[in-house]
Every structure is written in structure tokens, then in C-alpha cells.
Amino acid sequence: MSRRRGGLPPAVAFAALLASGCAVPTLPGVEGPPAPAPLREALLQSLAEREAALRALRGTATVTVSVPGHRRRLREAFALEAGGRLRLEQYEWTGLPTMILATDGETVAVHLPFARQFLRGRATGENLGRLAGLPVAPATLTRLLLGLPPLPVAPGRVAVLGTPGTAALALISEGEGAAQALRFAPDTHLLQEGELHEGGQPLLRFRFGPAEALEGVPVARDLTLWHLPDGVEVAVAFQVLELNPSFPPDFFSLAPPADAGVSIVDVDRTERP
């Protein structure tokens, strides 16, 4: 899978003004001409339609987690809803579960049946990294797995620009104390790659693979994340997918097993190794 380790091309930036006259957010070192108003509106409309169409996802995937000097390849069943609700189940070759993780966006819990452990804590990117090797906040991760930008795009704080030397469209927006730079295909307006920044520093970079229609909605078949804490890189290759399934109310929470031999660990009270 090809990846752009340097992020978006340095020739891209966002320096347009909103129709209201407010200055849009910018990211250092990137610049380019504002896209024509019809293209800007078409892209924002396409984004709004995808937000409405991509609400939940269920399926199976192969997840490869790489850190310097080590790589793990996992088979996972997953279910998710926008807003940080996520359930992951990892399996060994015999089909037995080795890990069950659930987060409702507020807390995260993991059951390790073979280790006879139950771990729980706040739903943060750090805890998701410690428990599942995915150091991304659940709300951000579920949006990316759905094929959406890491942050919702608020039309009032956004700039859409052409990218010099290419036909792609670029967008920068702010929200929730962070900023994101995104690149879209000019003909389909599908999100191709981007970066999430906080405090002027990149938190993560991502790239989507080709999309296939799922119930008439284009859905990316693979996702790569890099520039993550501790040098972690994550590649997700989706297999079976179901769009917008319904889940029971408690599906994204996990209670400790009724087994006195299972140790219960509060990861917020333990030191990070």
C-alpha cells in the first residue's frame, strides 16, 4: 500500500476568506488559490451527505499494527457507530476470541479471556493504544473507519482550495480545539488523505484506499494511519461490511465476567509501561 509519509504536499494551503468575512484557519507552510465558489459548495454538500449516510458499520477486517522492530497482523470483527462507539473482537486461528474491546465513547473496557484479565479506563487515545495497539481517540477512530474526516467539517470555519499542480481539492477546517487538512478527488469528492493537527503539531496522518459502493454509498476498503505516538502505524483492510446496522443499547459497553478468577485492572491507575 502506498503512503505519503510527508503529509500533504507543501504547495497546498488554505488562505480563503469566508463569505461572512471571517478569516478561515490556516496551517503553516501550505498555500494555494481558493477554489471557485461552486466547487466549494459542491464539496461541502457532498461532505454533509456522507455524514448523513455513514452512521454505523459492522464487519470483519485484517488489522496490521506496526511499531519500530515489530509487526502484528490480527483478524478482527468490529462494529461501530459515529460518536466514538466501538466494539472489537480479535480471534486466533482456531476461531476463539483472544480479546473483546468495547467503548461507548466515555469509557473503554477489554476482556482478555486467555489471560483472565478485565481492563477498563477512560476512552482516550492513550488507553486505546495501551489496550488494543490503536493510539487514536475513539471519536476520531470511528469517524476514520467510517471514511469520514477526523473532525466534523463546520461550514463556518472552512476553506476549500485548489492544489497547484494537481486536479485535487483541498480543505482546511477547525473544530474541537484541533485543525485538519484534507484532500479530495475532484470528480467524486471522496476523501483521499489528510492530517489532524493540535497545537500546531500533527497528531496523525491517514490515507484511504479505493472505495466500493455499499448500498449505493462509496466506502473505502482500506485505511492507513501513521505519524501516531511511539511510531505506531496501522493498516486496516476491510473484508465483509454492513452499512448502518442497528445495535442493542448496551452493545458498546462491557461488564466484568462473573468469574472470581479474573483480575480487574483500572488502567487509569496503573503506570504506562
User: Where are the alpha helices (H) located in 116-263, listed in sequence order?
Assistant: 125-132, 138-145
Backbone angles phi, psi at 241, to 5 degrees: -135, 140
Residue type, 272: R
Least confident of 52-66, 208-222, 247-261: 247-261
Burial zone of 248 (CB within 10 Å; 0-12 exposed, 13-18 middle, 19+ buried)? exposed
The dihedral of CA 83, 57, 52, 151: what is its sign? positive
Residue pLDDT, tens place only, 112-142: 999 999 999 999 999 999 999 899 999 999 9
Least confident of 26-40, 41-55, 145-159, 253-267: 26-40
Going by their DSSP bridges, the two strands 211-214 and 107-112 should be labelled as unpaired
The grid coordinates listed for 152 are 466534523
Does the model's pTM come out above 0.85?
yes
Contacts of 268 (CB under 8 A, 6+ apart): 121, 122, 127
The grid coordinates listed for 233 are 502505524
Residue pLDDT, tens place only, 13-27: 333 333 333 455 566
The dihedral of CA 41, 35, 144, 204: what is its sign? negative
User: Contact at 8 Å (CB) between 223 and 145?
Assistant: yes
Confidence of residue 165 (pLDDT cuts 50, 70, 90): low
Most distant pair of Cα atoms in the chain: their distance: 65
d(CA 142, CA 85): 7
Residue 89: CB atoms within 10 Å: 17
User: Contact at 8 Å (CB) between 51 and 152?
Assistant: yes
Q: Count Cα atoms within 13 angstroms, Cβ side, for 189.
A: 16
The grid coordinates listed for 47 are 461532505
d(CA 40, CA 12): 16
